[in-house]
Chain A
Amino acid sequence: MISVSLVRHIRARPAIVFDAVTTAEGIAHWWGPDTGPVLLSESDPRVGGRFRVRFRMLDGTEHESSGEFVEIVRPNHVVMSWRWKGGLEDPGESRIEIRLRSIPEGTELTFTHAQLDNEETRRSHEAGWIGSLDKLEGYFATATRASAQ
């Protein structure tokens, strides 16, 4: 139902970004070390294959997330289900979709984390409730930029 969408340009070719996202070795590198070490990284990057990543935050707490590859088309597209273990954040399953497009400087990565993946609610989002969030934002004391699609 709710989703966060981010676009980022990376100076690396799509295949390299794709492998960084989907392989155990890649995941082990970029999930850390800013917020603490990655303790475990497993990945079986094919449709139906699972991944699991466990990391420790600087405050000493450990967190694990895991999921299943739903769609995987190297080097352009990967969709995976995603959930926290232990319910630190909201429990329940969400969906991550990553699209990689070749651009002159390397790769344009579009990252979407959707709380629900129901097609109808996603279309409603595209119809643009976020515009109204932006408008209503002025009402709240804490100004922020929330991007969602």
Chain B
Amino acid sequence: MVNYQKRLDRTFAALVDPTRRAILAQLERKDSASISDLAKPFAIKLPAVMKHLDVLADAGLITRAKSGRTVTVRLRPLPMREAMAWLRRYERFWLERLDGLAAYAEGQETEARSKGQ
């Protein structure tokens, strides 16, 4: 459970940065990309891109495979799925609760009005 929590935190921390999100968006469009491909749209130097890739790899959001001189980067969707599952679970949980709250409060309102309050 604690590991799960830590993984979620890492996933979302990785996603906070706009450059990293843009890298993920690029990877979403392509099946895979080289590091220099990924760096092209950004006005930052290659080492800075490498650092972002390190963060994404640590969060398990990408994989890197080296063949010869080229490093191929791919998106790894599992951590995102976990993050989405957290959001989905709580969204459903609270949507149901708020339905109950609304029904109860609306009943109370009707009752108050019938008493002329």
Partner of A4 from B90, B96, B106 at Cβ < 8 Å: B90
Q: Does B77 contact A (CB under 8 A)?
A: yes
Chain B: interface residue total (CB-CB under 8 A): 43
Footprint of A on B, CB under 8 Å?
Answer: 1-2, 4-5, 8-9, 12-13, 15-16, 18, 21, 24-25, 28, 75, 77, 80-81, 83-84, 86-91, 94-106, 108-109, 112
Query: What residues on B are CB-neighbors of A133 within 8 Å?
Result: 15, 80, 83-84
Partner of A30 from B8, B24, B89, B97 at Cβ < 8 Å: B97
- Interface residues in A106-149 by Cβ distance below 8 A to B read 106-107, 109, 111, 113, 115-116, 121, 124-125, 127, 129, 132-133, 135-140, 142, 144, 146-148
**What DSSP secondary structure best describes chain B's contact surface?**
helix
Partner of A146 from B18, B75, B88, B102 at Cβ < 8 Å: B88
With contacts A35-B96, A129-B12 taken as known, whether A148 is within 8 angstroms of B109 at the C-beta atoms is no
- Least Cβ distance of A136 to chain B in Å? 6
Query: What residues on A are CB-neighbors of B28 within 8 Å?
Result: 135-136, 138-139
With contacts A16-B109, A109-B98 taken as known, whether A132 is within 8 angstroms of B90 at the C-beta atoms is no
- Known contacts A30-B104, A132-B21; 16 further A-B pairs (Cβ under 8 A): A1-B8, A2-B12, A4-B91, A8-B98, A10-B105, A30-B101, A89-B89, A107-B105, A113-B94, A132-B15, A133-B83, A135-B25, A135-B28, A137-B84, A144-B88, A146-B88
Q: Does A73 contact B (CB under 8 A)?
A: no
Chain A: interface residue total (CB-CB under 8 A): 51
